[in-house]
Amino acid sequence: MSMRPSALLTDFYQLSMAQSYWQAGIHDRNAVFHVFFRRNPIRDRYVVAAGLQRVIDFLNDFHFTSEDIDYLASLSQTKFSKDFLVYLKKLRFTGDIDAAPEGSVVFANEPLLRIRAPLALCQLLETPLVNALNFSSAVATMASRFRMLAPDDLLFEFGLRRAQGPDGGLTASRSAYLGGFDATSNTLAGKLFHIPVIGTMAHSFIMAFDDEKTAFETYAALNPDNVILLVDTYDTLKGVDRAIAIPNLKAIRLDSGDLNALSKAAREKLDRAGLSHVKIFASGDIHETMLAELKKQRAPIDGWGVGTHLSTSYEQPALDMVYKLGAIEKNGQFSYRLKRSDNNRKTSDPGILQVKRLTENKRWLRDVIYDIQSPVISNATAEDLLKPIFQSGRLVYSSVKLSQSREYCLQQVQQYHASPDFVVERDAVLIDLKNSLLKKYDE
Amino acid sequence: MSMRPSALLTDFYQLSMAQSYWQAGIHDRNAVFHVFFRRNPIRDRYVVAAGLQRVIDFLNDFHFTSEDIDYLASLSQTKFSKDFLVYLKKLRFTGDIDAAPEGSVVFANEPLLRIRAPLALCQLLETPLVNALNFSSAVATMASRFRMLAPDDLLFEFGLRRAQGPDGGLTASRSAYLGGFDATSNTLAGKLFHIPVIGTMAHSFIMAFDDEKTAFETYAALNPDNVILLVDTYDTLKGVDRAIAIPNLKAIRLDSGDLNALSKAAREKLDRAGLSHVKIFASGDIHETMLAELKKQRAPIDGWGVGTHLSTSYEQPALDMVYKLGAIEKNGQFSYRLKRSDNNRKTSDPGILQVKRLTENKRWLRDVIYDIQSPVISNATAEDLLKPIFQSGRLVYSSVKLSQSREYCLQQVQQYHASPDFVVERDAVLIDLKNSLLKKYDE
């Protein structure tokens, strides 16, 4: 799915600032902005970058429609001049984008996307770019953490009903798969993103029949290749007994109650009945802590349906992703800028930033954030995190299949976990640059 | 904005269950399902119902396209029969919907939407209906709580960049306005939903100029009617002094730091300069607890920009909204059903449910959940919560303007807060009905 193409999907102040730049005659100065998040998310240190495809789709079709322009002309809180609206009407994406490919593991303060474009254009793109990357990355990160907790289990994303609107749900399904899930229940996501779709039955299916036995028998007769029975509608262990009596049983699903005790009791019943090949799936408000705890208790659960907690990124519903000016062109030269804060963590890095990832024997040594005008030299194997995506408005990046990004992500996460001493640093020249700018502001 | 019309926006098991109903010949039996949430949200007891307009748009256009059908035919995990796909292709919404109008205050376990329709159709609609209502209601509820904390202040929704995708953001902006906010920064939401849009300037605007003074002067010269200056880019109180020197100053905005201390210091500076008419706005990760605390400290803040915490419903990213079967037709009569649970709270109510709201002198006495086949009789003024929306597939509800729903919501919330003894009860007949069904399951 592509992001809705409307260029109006932006904060209103971007438009009023763009007009002020235009009126002041500085709208066409080249500016460099970076997208990054300031804090690593809870529980672990890494973020899975996601949402770049959405950025690409959006920028490829970036334009204001006549209807958009009419709407802006109708507003009274900021008066848009006719000439500025003509400028907007003609505006297309003409800049450079360098970004971490989807599935990359990235860290706090590292740019995951850098844009170099005319100032007014950069400003208008702040909101849609952060919107595209922030939530996608949050869900992909959470999905990746689930995958790490249950490396060999089946992981199903079940969150559409509680997701944040239709495309909140679509983004969540896509990002969950990218982060390492096996399948989704979201049929439209299956169609749009070529993700395997899965499904069994709901309590209402059981309740639609007069009793559980009839419901199970009917379902199994009609779906002989997919006999996965939900056993907890009335009495879970009685449900397990009834499921055992059904031919071709493939799996049972537990959706409530004490999943540790119930899965153990169900496993015993199944094994005793000679059904050790029958799997046990669990669902029902599963979250990270719960899954970790059930793993610790060795609950014999083979597959997990994760809904609300994944699709809304419940435990941390947003990364604190920001978009900060690093440099602006003036008289043909880039002048470096930073946003200062009493809170040192919130003071941004100046420059035109890139990240060098140094590795040795497939282990990551460190990431170095640096300014590309003073490149980092190193003897270790090194790769730049940000890859060219757009150059002068032209797409130069060959989009990869989502399943390939998923493989890349799994590999990145494994490399990260295999690198216990890994750190993120700022290059010494960058630190000097920052300190000298801070000093200047103090004067 | 209307929900994407694709009928594939549903959990896959809804489709495989629908086929099983169809194969078993029970797909056309009338069924009654209720949408409700099981727990009141954090901090307060009420929910603002929202999202009905999205449900209406979706049902008005509910159909499977040829492309959708082709996708389903291509799947191997569940084989869909040709005849079933023909049935799906012809399927339209033909049922009844009764629902609480947007802006209604509702409570845990009360249905906020009831559907009566053929069983297979009901099943297919579970996911999109819950998706439409759950997040909208969560954000409207949170917006309403902010409004209660700051009844006389300006409240701006600023959350698009951190929202959960483009229409996560659109839904959030619409729901925030419905719940009592004054305006949004989301320009597309302004256009689509006729919400006032607002905006000032970003740090990047200040940073685009060589110094803060030049940035302020330029902005004020170009926007003489809207001189709202962001003062915290480099040094907040110096920024306030520079803002004071600018003609036509209307307001300053603080976006970081100790908002209590800074707003008091800024107020003093402004007043001393004879600018007591100049307002102070605050933003920057504002959340409920923070706003309540700043109110308690009497921080002189006149307007609030609320972003991430509102647009992602951060403190409770999802209501636990569910969709449960209450009754199914059999031999021309409704047979009542419930989902049982060891957890009593999760045991659903059987029947065809409605809620009577009893009031006296504009104060709410109580809500009574009842089965419409055994109506509640009462002497108090009473109104049914659920209103007819669709009858036999025909829309019978006149959609109201969003601004009217907002007024209705403000009034509902006030009535609720003016009703300290208010309770939600189940009708005695309903309790008997439930107990007798539970007893039957025990046999």
Residues of A in contact with B160 (CB under 8 A): 9-11, 127, 131
Residue B2: per-residue pLDDT: 42
Residue B366: per-residue pLDDT: 93
- Neighbour-count burial of B67, counting CB atoms closer than 10 A to its CB (0-12 exposed, 13-18 middle, 19+ buried): exposed
Residues of A in contact with B75 (CB under 8 A): 190, 197
Tell me how close the Cα of A163 comes to any Cα of chain B, in angstroms: 6
Q: What is the mean pLDDT of chain A?
A: 93
Question: Is residue B1 classed as helix, strand or coil in its secondary structure?
Answer: coil
Q: Scanning every residue of chain A, which has its alpha carbon at the shortest distance from the alpha carbon of B192?
A: A71
Q: Please list, in sequence order, all residues whose beta carbon lies within 8 angstroms of the beta carbon of residue B366, skipping any fewer than 6 positions away.
A: B357, B358, B422, B423, B424, B425
In a mutational test of the B interface, the residue from A115, A131, A193, A315 whose CB has the highest number of chain B CBs within 10 Å is A131
Inter-residue long-range contacts of A233-240, CB under 8 Å, 24+ positions, other chains counted: A233/A203, A233/A206, A233/A207, A233/B339, A233/B340, A234/A206, A234/B340, A234/B441, A235/B340, A235/B441, A236/A262, A236/A266, A237/A262, A237/A265, A237/A266, A237/A269, A238/A212, A239/A212, A240/A265, A240/A266, A240/A269, A240/A270
Tally Cβ neighbours within 10 Å of residue A276. Answer: 10
Three-state SS string over chain A comes to CCCCCECCCCEHHHHHHHHHHHHHCCCCCEEEEEEEECCCCCCCCCEECCCHHHHHHHHHCCECCHHHHHHHHCCCCCCCCHHHHHHHHHCCCCCEEEECCCCCEECCCCCCEEEEEEHHHHHHHHHHHHHHHHHHHHHHHHHHHHHHHCCCCEEEECCHHHCCCHHHHHHHHHHHHHCCCCEECEHHHHHHHCCCECCCCCHHHHHHCCCHHHHHHHHHHHCCCCCEEECCCCCHHHHHHHHHCCCCCCEEEECCCCHHHHHHHHHHHHHHCCCCCCEEEECCCCCHHHHHHHHHCCCCCCEEEECHHHHCCCCCCCCCEEEEEEEEEECCEEEECCCCCCCHHHCCCCCCEEEEEEEECCEEEEEEEEECCCCCCCCCEEEECCEEEEECCEECCCCCCHHHHHHHHHHHHHHHHCCCCCEEEECHHHHHHHHHHHHHHHC
pLDDT digits (tens, 9 = 90+) for A21-46: 999 999 999 999 999 998 888 766 89
Average pLDDT over residues A305-313: 93
Task: Tell me the pairing of strands B30-37 and B321-330.
Answer: antiparallel
Tokens of B112: 């906020």
- C-alpha distances in angstroms, B360 versus A257, B198, B379, B380, B417? 42, 40, 10, 6, 14
Residues of A in contact with B196 (CB under 8 A): 77
Give the number of A-B residue pairs with CB atoms closer than 8 Å. 338
Reported confidence tier of residue A1, pLDDT bands at 50, 70, 90:
very low
Task: Tell me the pairing of strands A47-48 and A381-384.
Answer: unpaired
B118, B87 in Cβ contact below 8 A? no
Put simply, the answer to whether A321 touches B17 (Cβ < 8 Å) is no
* Identity of the residue in A9, A78, A199 whose CB atom sits nearest the CB atom of B223: A78
Put simply, the answer to whether B11 touches A131 (Cβ < 8 Å) is no
The domains found in chain B, sorted by start residue, are 12-132+329-442 (3.20.140.10), 141-311 (3.20.20.70)
* Identity of the residue in B11, B71, B135 whose CB atom sits nearest the CB atom of A165: B135
Q: With 50 as the cut, is the pLDDT of residue A58 above it?
A: yes
Q: Scanning every residue of chain B, which has its alpha carbon at the shortest distance from the alpha carbon of A58?
A: B166
Residue A4: per-residue pLDDT: 58
Put simply, the answer to whether B203 touches A256 (Cβ < 8 Å) is no
Instruction: Tell me, rounded to whole angstroms, the distance of Cα A316 from its chain centroid.
Output: 12
A112, A100 in Cβ contact below 8 A? yes
* Identity of the residue in B136, B167, B219 whose CB atom sits nearest the CB atom of A167: B167
Residues of A in contact with B312 (CB under 8 A): 164, 312-313, 317-318
Tell me how close the Cα of A278 comes to any Cα of chain B, in angstroms: 17
Low-confidence stretches of chain B (pLDDT < 70) are 1-5, 43-44, 342-343, 443
Residue A345: per-residue pLDDT: 73
pLDDT digits (tens, 9 = 90+) for A166-202: 888 999 999 999 999 999 999 999 999 999 999 889 9
Tell me how close the Cα of B177 comes to any Cα of chain A, in angstroms: 16
Put simply, the answer to whether A199 touches B13 (Cβ < 8 Å) is yes
Put simply, the answer to whether B12 touches A127 (Cβ < 8 Å) is no
How big is the CA angle at A223 (ends A218 and A224), to the nearest 5 degrees? 100
Average pLDDT over residues A418-432: 92
Put simply, the answer to whether B78 touches A207 (Cβ < 8 Å) is no
Residue A204: per-residue pLDDT: 93
Cα–Cα nearest to A114, from A96, A101, A132: A96
Put simply, the answer to whether A166 touches B3 (Cβ < 8 Å) is yes
Residue B430: per-residue pLDDT: 93
Average pLDDT over residues A265-286: 97
Evaluate whether ipTM surpasses 0.95.
Answer: no
Instruction: Tell me, rounded to whole angstroms, the distance of Cα A140 from its chain centroid.
Output: 4
Residues of B in contact with A197 (CB under 8 A): 12, 75, 77
Q: With 90 as the cut, is the pLDDT of residue A135 above it?
A: yes
Residue B150: per-residue pLDDT: 97
Put simply, the answer to whether A197 touches B75 (Cβ < 8 Å) is yes
Q: How far apart are CA A309 and CA A305, in angstroms?
A: 11
Tell me how close the Cα of B109 comes to any Cα of chain A, in angstroms: 17
Residues of B in contact with A65 (CB under 8 A): none
pLDDT digits (tens, 9 = 90+) for A213-223: 999 999 999 99
- C-alpha distances in angstroms, A293 versus A263, A285, A323, A338, B315? 14, 14, 37, 44, 24
Cα–Cα nearest to A4, from A66, A73, A63: A63
Put simply, the answer to whether A196 touches B77 (Cβ < 8 Å) is yes
Between B355 and A342, the higher pLDDT residue? B355
Residues of B in contact with A341 (CB under 8 A): 256
Put simply, the answer to whether A71 touches B190 (Cβ < 8 Å) is yes
Put simply, the answer to whether A165 touches B314 (Cβ < 8 Å) is no
Residue B281: per-residue pLDDT: 98
